[in-house]
Structures are given as structure tokens and as C-alpha cells.
Amino acid sequence: MSASITHDSIATVETHSGSHHNDHGHGHGQGKPGIMHYLWNTDHKMIALQFLWSATFFLIFGGAMALAMRWQLAFPGHPIPVIGHLLPHSVVNDEGAIIPSGYNVLVTMHGTILVFFVAMPLLIGVFGNFLIPLKIGAGDMAFPALNELSYWLFALSGIIMLSSFWVPGGAPGTGWTAYAPLSSVAAYNQTPMGQSLWCAALFINGLSSITGAVNYITTVITMRAPGMTMFRMPLPVWAIFLTAILLILAIPVLSAAAALIIFDLNFGTTFYRPSGYGQPLLWQHLFWFFGHPEVYILILPAFGLTSEILSVFSRKPVFGYKAMVWAMISIGFLGFIVWGHHMYVSGMNLTLSAAFSVSTMVIAVPSAIKTFNWMGTIWRGSIHYTVPMAFAVSFVSMFVIGGLSGIFMASTPVDLFVHHTYFIVAHFHYVLFGGSMFAIFGAVYFWFPKMSGRMFNNTLGWIHFWMTFVFFNLTFFPMHNLGLGGMMRRIADPTVYDCLKQLQPLNVVCTIGAMGLGLATIPFVVNIVWSMLNGPKAPANPWNSTTLEWTVSHPIPHGNFAVTPTVYHGPYEYSVPGLARDFLPQNEKAPAHITLEAH
């Protein structure tokens, strides 16, 4: 039983030599798995790992771009040490210092890659794929081949996105929001090819998301094990199910809008060009109609993953399970009627602005329900201090900080002041890094034993946690002050303004934090790669958890469950009074004398 799915996937990283034994029981059969085993595999667990490795690559790539930006902001015009000369000339000058247009490229590609090629595949591609079938007691996704197609569309879109660096003009520098007419007129952006490839990559990435989402929704609706009612589903499944619905409704609008940019750039259409009676503001409406649901696409799965981790390590049921589900449903719905709050300064009608302001603040209600329920979950629990728990608790705290600054900006008068400053940058990094990425790190550690069959190294895990937590706050908290001090986003050199020179020490602090954050990735990557190969064998249920994925032993065969499990109760029956053990798996009946409180 030495070889495992994880072993297999590690082998792909090591340019698979086929030297390991394939003595695991599942019938992939002809002794050694060939290269096609890794390239086209319909097993949802393998697809999850394909997404994991690809997204980790993009995480390092996109993170390195952020470090280059931070270097430039702290030490404007100074050559980047060591690697400065190796960077392409669309980004740096002869001395290896970042040029302004190159800085714009870094801003754009960092944002695009982190949103579409890191956060989405990690949250949805990895955990959606890995957890949904295992948690609902299914053998695989409803459409396994479509699932693998989704991965390859994702990979193709990544290749197209990266290739934009090497076309004439280089990668686009129009920001991840690609506002028209900057993005849609070649004379303005100077990168018509790069911008077109950017749009094409997002279009194909959208197809990948849609095929994935079709699979998730269908799987959740039709493939639940007997007894697994909707309100007995673990919260990560609920979260990713709702996320998939948002994907289906939001992504196609971005695809349409991006296609129109391609047409404007290449075929002479005038959708966003005023000279042909086009409307530049139309892009903002279409983009944010997608963009705001996208915000919840990036955070709902994190909500679900964190809720479960908090419950397991507090040895208590999730406080207000149904309220958690309804809060996510209402957040998902409200997410579609608030897009205008990204556009307060666009010259939009002020009455409309007020309406968007109110609908945005309403989102604070379900968000607060979730936050208080997380606190209720931990409250008086028997808390186990583990690495995933540390990340989950930090997720809640960091998300609250990001959420509160969100309320500031929901209010139009405040937003008029802070819009397009570093206050915004601080806000969305608190929700996207402090929120989504912390949840992802916690979830990677939490499900690592199930994905790999091995335990991670605790010491490295704690080093990773503390470095991430400290340096994250060091990087992003001062950005609130920078923003309120007047420093604008997307500025390659703040020292060109006298009024911003006094803020420069804060910029240096942010950069020191960012370097530390970059270094924090090293123990993480070393930990997962080394532990997948050499970590101690993990028991089937190392956290004494209740959900179905912990009932199968590693290696999990293609098909997952030898016998389809039957589910008898809700997902979080921890510390049930009267039971010998402090957890009751979903597929075990409660003894007759025990009454469970809910569902």
C-alpha cells in the first residue's frame, strides 16, 4: 500500500519516471500508470491535485510579481537585486529597474493571475473536486470527463495568459478590471495583442469554470448518498454548490464583455468607443455585474471550509448550521444587486449610487450572522490548537477587518474619498488574502492527510502560520494608512508627489512585510512536497471528524466507497452528551437512547 494518489501526483512533478510501484488496489491497471494517467484522468481526486499543482505554480509566479511591485514602491527606480536583469524589457529597463509601463503590467497580471489562476482553482478546482463527491458519498462527479475537460480548459487559459508576455507590445497593463476605453482602444493601451490574449484567456477560463460548475451543481443535486438530505450536507459542499450557481450566472457576462473588447480591438467595433456612440461605462457595468458575484465566488467556499475546521477543532457542532446556509444563500443573492458600489466615482447617477449603497450594507447582515456563528462555534469549545485551526481562527479575524473596511466603502461619501487609494488595496487583500488564502492554507493542512495519506510536518506548519500571520498584517495593515494619507492605487512611483514623500517609510514597512510573506511560502511548499513523499502515514480519520470523506482509508480507489454509505444525521455531531466518543460520524446511527438536536 505504499503507492498512492499523492505519490502518483508527486511523480508528475518529478518528471515521472515510472519507477514507483503501482501496488494500490484500483484498476488503473497495466502495472505502471503511463504519462496519460496524469494527463487525462477522470478521477475527481486526481483532477483536484492537477488543479492544486497548477495553482501553486501560479501562486508563486503571481506572488513574485507582487514582490517586484513592492520593491519598486519602497525603492522607486532602484534595480531589482539579483533577478532584475533577467526580467523582460517590457517590465524593466537596462539597469533592471521597473519602468512605469512595466509596473502596470505587474499590477494587471498579479491581480488577474491571483484571482483567476490561484484563488478560484484552489477554492473551487481543488476543494470542490476533492470534497464534493467524498463528502456526499458519491463515487465521482456526475460528468467525470467534463471535469477533466474543465481542468484542461483552465490549463489552456493559463498558457494563453502567460503567452501575452511574449507577444509584440507585451502583456496588458490595464489592471485586472481592464477599464474601457483604455483596454478597448489600441492607441491608448499600446498592447492590443496582449489585451486580446488576456480577454481570450478569461473567456476560456470562463468555459472551464462553467463546465466545472455544471458538474458541481448536478453532482450535488443528483448524487447524494441515501439519507444525505440537502440540510445534512457539510457546509463546504453547500458553499461550493452556491458558488457554482454564482459561476453559472456571473461568468458568462464577463465572457460576453471580454469578447466585445476583442472585437473593439481587432474588428473595429465601437461597443466601448464614444466616437461610434459606444459607452465606456458599459464595460464597468458588465465587468462588475460579474465582478461582484466574483467576490463571493472567492469567499463563499472559504466560509464553508473554515466553518468545518472551526467545528472539528472546537469539538462542537457548527453554531446555527441552518442560519449559516441561509446566510450564504442571501449573500449569494445580494451579490448580484450591489455591483454599482464599485462605480461610485464613475459619474453614475447619485440616486442609483444611494440604492447600491443600501443594498451593499445589507450584506453586512448575513456576514455578521456568519461571524457570530463562528464565534458561537468556538465558544466554550474544547479547542485543539492545530495548524489548520490557527489558520481558520485567523481567517475569521482577518475577514472581520476586511469586512469592516468594506462597510466604509459601501458608503458613497466615504468611498468618494478613499476610492482608488491604497485603502481599497488594504481592504481587498484583507478579504482575499486574509480571508480566502488563509482559509485555503487551513484547508490544505486540514485535508492534507486525506489527499496524500500522510501527515504534514507540524513545525513547518507552525512556522508557515506565524510568518504568514505576522507578515500579512505587516504588509497590508499600513496600507490603510497609506490610502487615507492619499496614496493612489496603481502608481509606479509615489515619490513623484511631494505630498506622498512623507509616507515612504510606511511603503518600506509594507515591502519588508511582503518579503517576509514571500519567504513564508517556502516552509509551506517544502512542507507539502516533502510530507507527501516522506511524511508519517496518516490514519483514516486523524482529526476524529464526522463527515464521510474520513470514513475511507488511503489510497481511496477510483469510485471512492466500496459500499455506498447511508447517512443518518447532520454533519457536525461533536461532543454529543451520552456518547463514549466525542464525535458521531454521519454514517453511524446514534444509539437509541441519544436524541440528536437537529436534522
Q: Is 439 in the site for another protein (CB under 8 A)?
A: no
Least distance CB 304 / another protein (angstroms): 20
Nearer to another protein among residue 54 and residue 215 (C-beta): 215
Q: Is 1 in the site for another protein (CB under 8 A)?
A: no
Q: CA 508, CA 528: separation in Å to the nearest integer?
A: 31
Query: Which member of 36, 563, 580, 592 binds another protein (CB under 8 A)?
Result: 563
Least distance CB 70 / another protein (angstroms): 36
Q: Is 35 in the site for another protein (CB under 8 A)?
A: no
Query: Which member of 267, 413, 502, 534 binds another protein (CB under 8 A)?
Result: 267
Q: CA 456, CA 459: separation in Å to the nearest integer?
A: 9
List Cβ neighbours of 536 (8 Å cut-off, separation of 6 or more).
Answer: 454, 455
Question: Which H or E element spans position 88?
Answer: none
Identify residues 490-519 at the interface with another protein (CB under 8 A).
none
Identify residues 276-305 at the interface with another protein (CB under 8 A).
276-279, 282, 285-286, 289
Query: Which member of 1, 13, 159, 221 binds another protein (CB under 8 A)?
Result: 221
Backbone CA torsion sign across 515, 520, 524, 529: positive
Q: Is 363 in the site for another protein (CB under 8 A)?
A: no
Spatial CA neighbour of 309 closest among 373, 390, 200: 390
Give the alpha-carbon dihedral of 550, 556, 559, 561, to 10 degrees: -40
Q: What are residue 92's DSSP bridge partners?
A: 98
Q: Which stretch binds another protein (CB under 8 A): 272-280, 310-318, 439-447, 513-521?
A: 272-280
Query: Which member of 29, 347, 413, 578 binds another protein (CB under 8 A)?
Result: 29
CA angle 120, 124, 126 (to 5 degrees): 105
88, amino acid identity: P
250 in Cβ contact with 297 (< 8 Å):
yes
Least distance CB 257 / another protein (angstroms): 6
Neighbours of 21 (CB within 10 A): 10
Query: Which member of 255, 360, 436, 531 binds another protein (CB under 8 A)?
Result: 255
Q: Specify whether the backbone of 31 is left (phi greater than 0), alpha (psi in -120 to 50) or beta.
A: left
- Write the interaction track for another protein spanning residues 80-119; mark x where CB under 8 A is met and - where it is not: ----------------------------------------
Query: Which member of 227, 486, 539, 542 binds another protein (CB under 8 A)?
Result: 227
Query: Which member of 218, 346, 397, 495 binds another protein (CB under 8 A)?
Result: 218
Q: Is 213 in the site for another protein (CB under 8 A)?
A: yes
Least distance CB 448 / another protein (angstroms): 24
Q: CA 63, CA 54: separation in Å to the nearest integer?
A: 14
Backbone CA torsion sign across 267, 271, 275, 280: negative
Q: CA 153, CA 59: separation in Å to the nearest integer?
A: 18
Q: Is 385 in the site for another protein (CB under 8 A)?
A: no
46 in Cβ contact with 129 (< 8 Å):
no
Q: Which stretch binds another protein (CB under 8 A): 81-89, 429-437, 551-559, 587-595?
A: 551-559
Least distance CB 207 / another protein (angstroms): 9
Q: Which stretch binds another protein (CB under 8 A): 9-17, 269-277, 337-345, 496-504?
A: 269-277
Identify residues 127-156 at the interface with another protein (CB under 8 A).
137-140, 142-146
> Would you list the DSSP string of 443-511?
HHHHHHHHHHSBPPPHHHHHHHHHHHHHHHHHHHHHHHHHHHTTPBSS-S-GGGSHHHHTTHHHHHHHH
Query: Which member of 15, 17, 222, 595 binds another protein (CB under 8 A)?
Result: 222
Q: Which stretch binds another protein (CB under 8 A): 216-224, 382-390, 472-480, 573-581?
A: 216-224
Q: Is 595 in the site for another protein (CB under 8 A)?
A: no
Q: Is 187 in the site for another protein (CB under 8 A)?
A: no
Spatial CA neighbour of 240 closest among 186, 196, 299, 181: 299
Least distance CB 244 / another protein (angstroms): 9
Spatial CA neighbour of 434 closest among 393, 378, 494: 393
Q: CA 520, CA 351: separation in Å to the nearest integer?
A: 46
Q: Is 587 in the site for another protein (CB under 8 A)?
A: no
Query: Which member of 7, 450, 558, 569 binds another protein (CB under 8 A)?
Result: 558
Q: CA 442, CA 474: separation in Å to the nearest integer?
A: 20
Least distance CB 590 / another protein (angstroms): 20
**98: which 3 cell numbers?**
521597473
**Omega into 181 within 30° of 0, i.e. cis?**
yes
Q: Is 269 in the site for another protein (CB under 8 A)?
A: yes
Q: Is 178 in the site for another protein (CB under 8 A)?
A: no
Query: Which member of 11, 123, 153, 214 binds another protein (CB under 8 A)?
Result: 214
Least distance CB 26 / another protein (angstroms): 4
List Cβ neighbours of 595 (8 Å cut-off, separation of 6 or more).
Answer: none
Percent helix / strand / coil, the chain, rounded to 5: 65, 0, 30
Q: Is 228 in the site for another protein (CB under 8 A)?
A: yes
270 in Cβ contact with 364 (< 8 Å):
no
**352: which 3 cell numbers?**
442609483
Nearer to another protein among residue 9 and residue 394 (C-beta): 9
Q: Is 375 in the site for another protein (CB under 8 A)?
A: no
Q: Is 557 in the site for another protein (CB under 8 A)?
A: yes
Residues of the shown chain interacting with another protein in the complex, contacts defined by CB under 8 A: 25-29, 42, 137-140, 142-146, 210-211, 213-215, 217-218, 221-228, 248-253, 255-257, 259-260, 263, 267-271, 275-279, 282, 285-286, 289, 557-564
